[in-house]
Amino acid sequence: MADKVAWPMPNISAANRPHWAAAKNHKLTYQQCLDCGSWIYPIAPMCQACWSERFEWRPVSGEGKISSWIVVRRAFHPAFQNEIPYVVAEVDLAEGIRVLAPVVNIEPEQLRASLPVRARFMDRSDDVSLLQFEPAKPA
Ligand SMILES: [Zn+2]
């Protein structure tokens, strides 16, 4: 039954379309300010550091370390009923961007702060591939 419930999907807009187009190709990209070099995250029309509106979408390594996490044991959306328990972590990317995403291919008991992880993508539809992380080395 839960498999028949549609997953909540991102709202793809002109502002974030480059991010999702890259994700579809399993590339992780974020905006980088052309004036001060800051990474712009979350996606925004201007740099939060210097207010410049000049930026480019640039690839990031996808490598990072877990800074914090939760284990979700209750489905807050019916589409996730078959996913629980699952892990959502705060990951500090090597570029200094802190992102939230699920972590897969690890048991919750194996999680620890500073665990090295790398980005991977789950193809969810023809248009959407979702960011996930997994341990950089097999657990
Ligand atoms: Zn800037």
Name the token pair of 98: 């802190």
The predicted model scores a pTM of: 0.91
Taking the C-alpha atoms of residue 75 and residue 65, their distance in angstroms, rounded to an integer, is 26
Peptide bond connecting 85 to the previous residue in cis, omega within 30 degrees of 0: yes
Distance 124 CA to ligand 1 centre (A): 33
Taking the C-alpha atoms of residue 106 and residue 59, their distance in angstroms, rounded to an integer, is 26
Distance 59 CA to ligand 1 centre (A): 17
Tens digit of each residue's pLDDT (9 = 90 or more) over 41-93: 999 999 999 999 999 999 999 999 999 999 999 999 999 999 999 999 999 99
Answer yes or no: is pLDDT of 1 > 70: no
Instruction: Say if CB 138 and CB 107 are below 8 A apart.
Output: no
Taking the C-alpha atoms of residue 38 and residue 118, their distance in angstroms, rounded to an integer, is 21
Tens digit of each residue's pLDDT (9 = 90 or more) over 95-127: 999 999 999 999 999 999 999 999 999 999 998
Q: Using the Cα atoms of residue 51, residue 57, residue 58 and residue 62 in order, give the sign of their dihedral.
A: positive
Distance 32 CA to ligand 1 centre (A): 8
Distance 60 CA to ligand 1 centre (A): 17
Distance 130 CA to ligand 1 centre (A): 27
